Amino acid sequence: MLAEEKAPETVAQLVLWHLGYGVDWPTLVQLSREWANPSEVALARQFVARQAAADGADKAVEAGDSLV
């Protein structure tokens, strides 16, 4: 999804650290303060939120399908 959306490298790195390693956002802000600006962090958070919403919608459809 990151490649499909042509996410900047900085945004992609933040997303991967959050999703892949479970690093929370306040810690990511501290770790990346020298190479990521607040806008990039916000974009990364938005990407994760959209992905979580899409995953939740997919799970709801799957759960509904299994009831039929």
What does the alpha-carbon distance between residue 18 and residue 13 come to, in Å, rounded to a whole number? 9
What does the alpha-carbon distance between residue 19 and residue 52 come to, in Å, rounded to a whole number? 10
Residues 3-22 pLDDT 10s: 888 999 999 999 999 999 99
pTM: 0.77
What does the alpha-carbon distance between residue 59 and residue 29 come to, in Å, rounded to a whole number? 30
Report the length, in residues, of the chain.
68
E-state strands within 3-59: none
pLDDT classification of 64: cutoffs 50, 70, 90: low
Tally of CB atoms within 10 A around 1:
11
